[in-house]
Amino acid sequence: MIIVQYIDEVWPQNPLIPHDPYERAQARFWVAYADQMIPAVKPLFHVITDDEVREKAIERVREHLRVIENQCLMDKKFFGGDTINIVDIALGSVIKFIVTVEDLNQLKVMEDYKFPHLYSWFSNFKDAPIIKENIPNGEKLVACIKPIRGQMYARSS
């Protein structure tokens, strides 16, 4: 998120970090929370053949998603209200990775009926023009990741 902080300083006319100290602290908390989600999501990147292990890994990610669903969104279009901020970028990156892993391994982690606010927020996020223009295509991302993952497995065996 260092690059996002840099962008916020260089182009202050489009702030990504809230000016209000309390809102800024809240944003930093949720950015840190997004970083803490990565270790939970990482096991899903791998092929998990054991059903019980896979379900435990999915549930671990869902626990994090429930926290966001229940404590962070509060019926807002974006975490920053009407505009995208640093929290949207941080969590949007993690959610995009989760969606990519779902496609890669034919899993379902973030179901719309379990996470309606989060699902709605992610739709708003990925449909925002600046994000839509820059977010990687899911199919191309999966196609790019498959050979990398295959090389990782080939080296480890």
Could you give the CA distance from residue 30 to residue 8 in angstroms, rounded to a whole number? Answer: 17
pLDDT given at position 157:
62
| DSSP label of 128 | S
Could you give the CA distance from residue 73 to residue 25 in angstroms, rounded to a whole number? Answer: 16
Residue 13 lies in a domain: no
Residue 27 lies in a domain: no
Residues 131-156 have pLDDT tens digits of 999 998 889 988 988 888 888 777 76
**What percent of the chain clears pLDDT 90, i.e. is strictly above it?**
59
CB atoms within 10 A of CB 131: 16
Residue 59 lies in a domain: yes
Residue 22 lies in a domain: no
- Quote the domain boundaries for residue 128: 46-156
State the pTM of this model. Answer: 0.87
Q: Are 121 and 78 in contact (CB under 8 A)?
A: yes
Check which CATH number belongs to the domain holding 64 and give it: 1.20.1050.10
How many domains does the structure of the chain reveal?
1
Whole-Å CA distances, 40 to 36, 56, 97: 8, 10, 12
